[in-house]
Structure 1
Amino acid sequence: MTTGKRRPRERADPAAQRYVADEQGQVRIKVRARYDGNGRLTGEYDYFYRRQDSNGWDALDNLTIGGEPVPWFSPLSVDSARNVAIGFIVNGGYDAIAEFALDGTGAGRLLMARDDVDVDTLIRIGRQRRVVGASYATEKREVAYFSPELATLAENLGKALPDQPIINIVGASSDEQRLLLIASSDTQPGMVYLFDKAKRTLEPILPVRAGLTDRAMGRMQPITYPAADGTQIPAYLTLPPGSDGKSLPAIVLPHGGPAARDEWGFDWLVQFFTARGYAVLQPNYRGSSGYGADWYGRNGFKAWDVAIGDVNDAGRWLISEGIARPDQLAIAGWSYGGYAALQSQVLDPALFKAVVAIAPVTDLGYLAGDARQYTNYRIVRDYIGEGPHIDDGSPRRHAEKFAAPVALFHGTRDLNVDVRHARAMEKALQDAGKPVIYHEYEDLQHGLGDSKARIDMLATIGRFLDEALGRGG
């Protein structure tokens, strides 16, 4: 009989940050955040698990692999058939994938690890989100499948489709006999396919960006260049279609984060610039994630001088190689990339002839202060740090050093970087008598996820760079 009545199965844990269920829908893992005496997050977590025959919680600790203790494990998935949790550990300074038994023994085994880059993604398919592999990025993103069948399938599809695309399995039927795939590359925005295992058919469903079908795209080439101290910095160079790569207008495009990295593949901002005749260099400067703990270092804020030094050295390399014209070299970036673009002027005002900063951090003191009313304030404060680098590393405080014109763009509802960063940067540059334009987008957040706003922004950037670099007419 249906009564419409309900009762709670289990009361919520107010400190729980997330739960992990197995493929049967049974909750098996709980992650609790730690708070300090002021009610702020510390950045530390406690992990708990349920045995298969219990509703109680046990601490997920005393974990070992081969008898050696594992100090940190972040579980993401549970396989009930084998009664194990699968997730990330740190192995030799790099993120790796491991599994641990949920039976009280804490015994585990390493599933995938590398000694050059982080293994950073679990690959899961189907309605039960079954773990079938893991992924990492060297020069290009690679997927290593635990299933030989899927490994062979992905390899064969990659060979059959044009431009040797990256194959992502993004969906599956309940019996996993039909798979939804996205194939994409640096010159192909992506095509969605339906693969039928039984029929051995691959049917195109729809393009990811229909408006770019059959348009010529710039090819992205992995390269390295030397930083001032001799360290080889990994990067991606994209040249305009048909270009010989010599004496071009050029743009250094540092990524956001800074705990992120650029990868080989389609990038709409890169292709916008190459379509306008620019060479684009994307540096994975020190402070980027994905290359292990040593490369990440103290992060791109505490060690901003190292990160921005690597970014500026990218511009110098473009000139030294004859790729970029020194008088038509610009820098652009979004979020931390926008910060890097602005801070590059503080280190070397003469290098770049134009600066584009989208949703940029402009004052490290603001960044910490903006988090003061939130529970993550302590984490943000510790991440940014304290000391002289706050003043030295805040471009808003050094507007008088700027030699290049600046274009700023920001959304008023940005929850990542408050709009006051761009507003204050514009005022500081105006007060210093420096050329600056600023476009603000009402009610948009950090990604400016509105087609009209992005069209306006790109059109404005195009005009700004043409004027600043003397490319008009």
Structure 2
Amino acid sequence: MSSYLLPLLRAALLCACALFTPAFSADAAPKAPPPIADFFDNPAFSGAILSPNGKFLAVRYSNDNKRDRLIVIELATNAVKVVAQFTDRDVNRFEWVNNERLVLDSTDKTIGAGDVVYWPGLFAVNRDGSNFRQLVQVSGNFVQEHGVARNVLSADHFLVEQKGAQTSDDVYVTNPKRDGIDQSGDVKYVNLIRLNTVTGRSETVRRPGLARAWLLDHKGEPRICVTRDKNTEAVWYLDPASKEWRRIATFDAYLGGKDAFSPLAFAPDGTFYVLSTRGKDKQALHTFDLATGQLSAEPLVVLADYDFSGSLITTRDKLLGVRYLSDARSTVWFDPKMKALQAAIDAALPATVNLVDVPARAEAPWVLVRTYSDRQPGRYMLYNLDTGKFNPVGSTHERVDPARMAEQELVRYTARDGLPVPAWLTLPPAVPAAVPAAVPAAVPTAVPTAVPTAVPTAVPTAVPTAVPTAVPNAHRKNLPMVVLVHGGPYVRGNEWGWSADSQFLASRGYAVLEPEFRGSTGFGSKHYRAGWKQWGLKMQDDIADAAKWAIAQGIADPKRICIAGASYGGYATLMGLANDPALFKCGINWVGVTDINLLYTGHWSFTSDASAGFLKYGAPTLIGDPVKDAAQLRATSPLQQAARIRQPLLLAYGAADRRVPLYHGKKFYEALKEHNPSVEWVVYQEEGHGWSLPRNRIDFWTRVEKFLQRHIGTP
């Protein structure tokens, strides 16, 4: 192996060794907690993809804090070639066009969202670094870095996330068209364009209406188009026989319905797979008959406690299995050889989730394995099918020591009205003891409850036997705790795995509880719909009930609980302080909504990126109607309730935030500071809806650490 990647491989090998190395003895001197930068720096290694034939590995990597570059490794010889790098920006997304050519776009990891002056552009290059070509401009003021090229598309073109056929030089890009002369308004429709990565020639696909999303079939050809007109969403199918678009379904774009579905993928045999509840509580994986327009009566995969969310795993001629998310990510293999391979890899790596990626047309014995746990950040390894040996590639957080990370588990509690609510509990790591490092009590199990008779029975991956822990009960009792509230709110908050936020807080001695309150998605329609119009009401009760559950379990010290969160989580933080002052001793709100009406009315100083369609057709039902529910929105407005908040509070906002513009924070801070002297206010001028720059992430979490220590930390 070339010395270029040796530092990367050494770090990965150290992580691998940590999985099987005993931790320090019980009488070892306590260590200082891991540095904040270990959690919140940009990763040096950030991605790897096998070529369609499996002979080459493309890697995105930064050496010595320089720009992210694209590297290709020839696996037979371990020859390494840097094929793309820029002096003023970083390689961002990348994908194989075919076995000889790659496509990539760019970003700039040194600036925040407010300082971005160009779009990502698009470039293509051969795997040996030759024939580099710019395909899409990076800004309105186009500058060609590698020579002048013809047929360069304007900057508002973006690579699709789906893989193409990978048998030609073509890829697909999208071109959103927006309202307004300056194209700064809401998206009206999205064009799909076929683009040749060698010549730069492009051809726009004929669309059936106001297209919002596109789906390619397994041959890489456009086959499904989703259109939206006001609040009506329609799904169209491009019939290969007639070459005409045919509408196959319509439903409410924001609220769904019994017959609503989401297109997922086409299998190699042409079967169309979709996601739908089909009138039941849990979303499941179904097939859709394009001839009759009917969903399958029975699902291919349905999970007992979760909505199905996942993807098909295929080669170019066969459906191998399905990858999905329950508490953790898992794979059901329909192919017996892949099922046996998964069992062998799980036996070698028993303490982690191990996700296997296979090349589309394998001509080499390699598969790529992404492995992780609650204590172990993601790392990539190559597995040789002939020798049965692993070859480490890289880790996303090289400096993180799994032995010093905390366990995470999914717990369930009952809200005051009887609704069961899932939550993620992360407890501080134990005083060093003779326990194998990074071995969880058990890797979460993800068992589907139904599979079709047409395919082999879907067996979940092996789950290791629980490993006893040497942590004394006293270590898990009466802890200071942070209730961390996810944003959205109509999304899933978390999954089993390593998380920088919760692991950092746990490393400082705090228990962390992350409730999947009603309205969170992924846990069925009943759980989701129970959150409609419940901002500050039953959604807020769920969060308070989570803290009360932790107190009843003896986990949390009732006098040392802080509530924290971003976006909607910031809103819930403020309402938690107002509604439950005896429960929450302090709060941390970053980029949080402070008044629901501001989502509708906005302000002259900055425009929110919430679409007009969502505000007109979705938000009144999901959040509340600004006219019909005016009294409720006032009662659940942190801005209107500011006088009730007396606890210490940390407020942080991005000056360039378009999701929750800065005026949310400013108005609330002005209303609060008159009667609350314990308010810390910080604005990151170049940031948007969250912190993109390591220096700002490190600064923010340093403030969080000091804030928590002052108010709920151990004396």
Q: Which of 277, 299, 322 does residue 90 from structure 1 map onto?
A: 277
Q: Which residue of 1 aligns with 2:682?
A: 439
| 1:230 shift after superposition | 4.0
Structure with max Cα Rg: 2
Aligned equivalents of 1:304 and 1:58: distance in 2?
A: 44
Cα deviation per residue 1:249-273 (whole Å; 9 max; x = unaligned)? 1111122221223222111111111
Q: Which residue of 2 aligns with 1:346?
A: 578
Task: Determine helix, strand or coil for the equivalent of 2:554.
Answer: coil
| 1:319 shift after superposition | 2.2
Aligned equivalents of 1:272 and 1:195: distance in 2?
A: 31
Give 1:13-162 correspondences, 5 Å limit: 15-35=210-230, 42=231, 44-61=232-249, 71-79=259-267, 81-91=268-278, 92-104=280-292, 106=294, 108=296, 110-124=299-313, 132-138=321-327, 140-162=328-350
Q: Which residue of 2 aligns with 1:308?
A: 540
Kept after mapping to 2: 8 A contact 1:288/1:300: no
Give 1:294-305 correspondences, 5 Å limit: 294-299=526-531, 301-305=533-537
Question: What's the RMSD between the two structures over aligned residues?
Answer: 2.8
Distance 1:158 1:414, change over 3 A: farther
AA in 2 matched with 1:98: H
- 1:247 aligns to 2:435 (yes or no): no
Kept after mapping to 2: 8 A contact 1:83/1:103: no
Give 1:313-352 correspondences, 5 Å limit: 313-352=545-584
- 1:279 aligns to 2:534 (yes or no): no
Distance 1:70 1:377, change over 3 A: closer
Q: Which of 400, 412, 421 does residue 233 from structure 1 map onto?
A: 421
Kept after mapping to 2: 8 A contact 1:51/1:103: no
Cα deviation per residue 1:309-352 (whole Å; 9 max; x = unaligned)? 11111212222222222222111112222221111112111211
Task: Determine helix, strand or coil for the equivalent of 1:449.
Answer: coil
- 1:415 aligns to 2:658 (yes or no): yes
Task: Determine helix, strand or coil for the equivalent of 1:288.
Answer: coil
Deviates more, 1:244-253 or 1:430-439: 430-439
Kept after mapping to 1: 8 A contact 2:314/2:360: no
Aligned equivalents of 2:519 and 2:705: distance in 1?
A: 29
| 1:76 shift after superposition | 2.1
AA in 2 matched with 1:385: G
Cα deviation per residue 1:339-391 (whole Å; 9 max; x = unaligned)? 21111112111211110112111111112334577444324532322213211
Cα deviation per residue 1:286-327 (whole Å; 9 max; x = unaligned)? 221111111112436535411111111121222222222222
Task: Determine helix, strand or coil for the equivalent of 2:404.
Answer: coil
AA in 2 matched with 1:381: A
Q: Which residue of 1 aligns with 2:667?
A: 424
Kept after mapping to 2: 8 A contact 1:338/1:357: yes
AA in 1 matched with 2:553: E
AA in 1 matched with 2:616: R
Q: Which residue of 2 aligns with 1:292?
A: 524
Aligned equivalents of 2:293 and 2:417: distance in 1?
A: 48
Q: Which residue of 1 aligns with 2:152?
A: none
Aligned equivalents of 1:325 and 1:106: distance in 2?
A: 54
Kept after mapping to 1: 8 A contact 2:652/2:682: yes
| 1:126 shift after superposition | 6.3
Kept after mapping to 2: 8 A contact 1:220/1:237: yes
Deviates more, 1:120-129 or 1:311-320: 120-129
AA in 1 matched with 2:540: I
| 1:6 shift after superposition | 6.0
Distance 1:330 1:71, change over 3 A: same
Q: Which residue of 2 aligns with 1:405?
A: 648
Kept after mapping to 2: 8 A contact 1:414/1:444: yes
Distance 1:7 1:228, change over 3 A: closer
Kept after mapping to 2: 8 A contact 1:125/1:170: no
Aligned equivalents of 2:206 and 2:240: distance in 1?
A: 19
Aligned equivalents of 1:423 and 1:126: distance in 2?
A: 53
Cα deviation per residue 1:210-236 (whole Å; 9 max; x = unaligned)? 121355111012222332234432222
Q: Which residue of 2 aligns with 1:66?
A: none
TM-score, length of structure 1 as denominator length: 0.87
Higher helix share: 1
Kept after mapping to 1: 8 A contact 2:238/2:244: yes
Q: Which of 364, 376, 390 does residue 202 from structure 1 map onto?
A: 390
| 1:70 shift after superposition | 7.0
Distance 1:451 1:301, change over 3 A: farther
Distance 1:358 1:33, change over 3 A: same
Task: Determine helix, strand or coil for the equivalent of 1:395.
Answer: coil
Aligned equivalents of 1:105 and 1:248: distance in 2?
A: 56
Instruction: Point out which structure has higher relative CO (alpha carbons under 8 A, 6+ apart).
Output: 2
Q: Which residue of 2 aligns with 1:355?
A: 587
Q: Which of 351, 362, 373 does residue 185 from structure 1 map onto?
A: 373
- 1:262 aligns to 2:494 (yes or no): yes
Q: Which residue of 2 aligns with 1:38?
A: none
AA in 1 matched with 2:229: R
AA in 2 matched with 1:256: G
AA in 2 matched with 1:322: G
Distance 1:245 1:102, change over 3 A: same
Unpaired runs of at least 5, structure 2: 1-198, 252-256, 432-474, 603-607
| 1:145 shift after superposition | 3.2
Task: Determine helix, strand or coil for the equivalent of 1:365.
Answer: helix
AA in 2 matched with 1:100: F
TM-score, length of structure 2 as denominator length: 0.59
Task: Determine helix, strand or coil for the equivalent of 2:537.
Answer: helix
Distance 1:359 1:170, change over 3 A: farther
| 1:247 shift after superposition | 1.9
Aligned equivalents of 2:487 and 2:320: distance in 1?
A: 29
| 1:184 shift after superposition | 0.7
Q: Which residue of 1 aligns with 2:615?
A: 377
Kept after mapping to 1: 8 A contact 2:655/2:683: yes
Aligned equivalents of 1:249 and 1:373: distance in 2?
A: 40
| 1:461 shift after superposition | 0.4
Distance 1:201 1:328, change over 3 A: same
Kept after mapping to 2: 8 A contact 1:23/1:130: no
- 1:452 aligns to 2:683 (yes or no): no
Distance 1:126 1:433, change over 3 A: same
Length, aligned pairs only: 454
